[in-house]
Amino acid sequence: MFFNVYTGNQIRAAEKPLLDVGYGPVLMRRAAYGLAQYIAQLIQRPSGEYPRPGRGGSVYGAQITALVGSGNNGGDALFALAYLAQRGASTHAVLTRERAHPEALAAFRAAGGRVVESIPPTTSVLIDAVLGTGFRGEYTRPQVPGLEIVEADAAAARPVVVACDLPSGVNADTGAAGDHVVPADHTVTFGGLKQGLIAGRGGTLSGALHTVDIGLQPHLPKSTVRLNSAQNGAIVAPPGLTDHKYSRGVLHMVAGSSAYPGAALLTAGAAVHTGAGMVTLQAPETVRSRVISAYPEVVGVPAGDTSAAVTKADGVVIGPGLGTQPDQLAAAEAVLEHVLEAATSCVLDASGLGLIRTQLRRRGGLNKNVLITPHLGEARRLAAELRDQVLGSMLDPGAAQADPVEAARRIAGRLDCTVLLKGATTVVASPEGDVVLHRAQAPGLATAGTGDVLSGILGALCATQERDWLTVTTQGVSMHTLAAQRIDPEGYGHFGASALIGALNR
């Protein structure tokens, strides 16, 4: 399933015609009611699912506190507290400015809510409603007594933090965020899913996401950014009764070196388990022998012998573990030249990304048949190669201009290829500017070799299916994530990349 994603600017533009005709109070009430309902559901979850055991089960008597700013975001929280107070919750508001939304504050007090100067230590749910979607710049966390409880080491000692629309201090468009942002366990966002909640640092601070429909859909533009759920397209269609190894797709790999033989092993294993009809490996003899001993179905090709195997291939992977030896890089360059001439689907990863330098001189870029898969550091090196300082700033997580979505778009347009920018949220951008975001929520994937496994999955999919890259990457990253979640459902990260291969087709 895909979900449309919008920038904060797009959401505010959709609100404007409704605000202009005096519909603002209705939008606020809808947002507040949705926030209150979600918090009530959180509190009523079984105690095993609730971060503070013994505090859940009933809204009546629950201790709920909000950090309230002066704008509409604070107003949403105050109205939500009023709804919860009417259900018997004990509600408190800490005003972070001298003023607050007047009607919402009056409703909160009328419902029995109390304005306090510090966060009560018995607070079980803390609502972050200091700033909303219009925030830009550097955020300073308010100096509120008791707020240090959100950094307690023991989960049982911390309140559940629920962000109202988005965590205060997160840029709704880009996900840029400073060090003072309070990480949310849950974010209840209004009108549409905001890009800053998924991309960049915002994607690591927003927790579980829930969207409340407040009636903006008729006014929202067509979105060019979509969020892919982990399960979307994760099952590969089985072969037909008349299929054979060639019709099922032939994948050719240029991978591995004496320094990194394991990369070829991981990439080949992933390709085999994803369902390629035939896998050929072009690599030094020592690498080929190691891979074939583990996967005897893989066909070895001498490192310098490229033409025949590449000509028969439906898809190609270049780069995992390739290393820096000149002869191996020259062979990889020859394969890439063939791929670009023949328009064969190609995944360019790891050391293979260094080949782009030559193609920039020869062609000015790549082709639409190519998918490149850099992580953030590799993307920054590409920015340097492209001599694009703006792009470099977009790829700097600590910069105010950080914007991984626009960065991926910029690289895709400049190189005329599809870009899969790896990270906590994977960003896939086409040369035409369409984007798919994938929020993995699988911390165990942050380890050596998992990128090689992903390359093998993507290579097999591009060889076996005639689909566009956005579809292939959606399916591939879903398979990759689900394999990690099968091994490690609690997210402890105690597994290596090789374990993913056996989990691909469980």
Q: What are phi and psi of 105, to 5 degrees?
A: -65, -40
Q: What is the CA radius of gyration of the chain?
A: 25
pLDDT tens track of the chain, all 506 residues?
789 999 999 999 999 999 999 999 999 999 999 999 999 999 987 654 544 533 446 899 999 999 999 999 999 999 999 999 999 999 999 999 989 999 999 999 999 999 999 999 999 999 999 999 988 888 989 999 999 888 876 666 789 999 999 999 999 999 999 889 999 999 999 999 999 999 999 999 999 999 999 999 999 999 999 998 755 445 566 777 666 676 678 999 999 999 999 999 999 999 999 988 899 999 999 999 999 999 999 999 987 776 678 888 999 999 999 988 888 899 999 999 999 999 999 999 999 999 999 999 999 999 999 999 999 999 999 999 999 999 999 999 888 789 999 999 999 999 999 999 998 899 999 999 999 999 887 888 989 999 999 999 999 999 987 778 999 999 999 999 999 999 998 888 899 999 999 998 77
CA distance 308 to 148: 65
At 2 the pLDDT is: 86
DSSP letter, residue 17: H
CATH architecture of the region 250-503: 3-Layer(aba) Sandwich (3.40)
**Sheet order of strands, 125-129 included:** 114-115, 90-95, 63-68, 125-129, 160-164, 186-190, 208-212
> CA torsion 17→21→22→24, rounded to 10°?
-10
How many residues are there in the chain? 506
Cα 401 from chain centroid? Answer: 18
- In the chain, CATH 3.40.50.10260 sits at 2-223
CA distance 305 to 405: 39
16 token code pair: 């404007």
- In 430-485, DSSP assigns E strands to 435-439
- Decide: 467 and 473 in contact? Cβ < 8 Å: no
End-to-end CA separation in angstroms for the chain: 21
Q: What is the CATH number of domain 2-223?
A: 3.40.50.10260
- In the chain, CATH 3.40.1190.20 sits at 250-503
115: part of which helix (H) or strand (E)?
Answer: strand 114-115
The number of CA neighbours under 13 Å toward the Cβ of 101 is 24
Handedness of CA 392, 396, 398, 404 (dihedral sign): positive
- DSSP β-bridge partners for residue 3: 227
Q: Are strands 425-429 and 435-439 parallel, antiparallel or unpaired?
A: antiparallel
**CA-based nearest residue to 304, from 281, 278, 327:** 327
- Decide: 92 and 64 in contact? Cβ < 8 Å: yes
DSSP string, 290-349: HHHHH-TTSEEE-TT--HHHHHH-SEEEE-TT--S-HHHHHHHHHHHHHHHHHT-EEEE-
Each residue of 247-293: pLDDT tens digit?
678 999 999 999 999 999 999 999 999 988 899 999 999 999 999 99
- Decide: 238 and 217 in contact? Cβ < 8 Å: no
Instruction: For Cα atoms 12, 18, 19, give the angle at the middle one, nearest 5 degrees.
Output: 75
Each residue of 123-142: pLDDT tens digit?
999 999 999 998 888 898 99
CA distance 164 to 67: 10
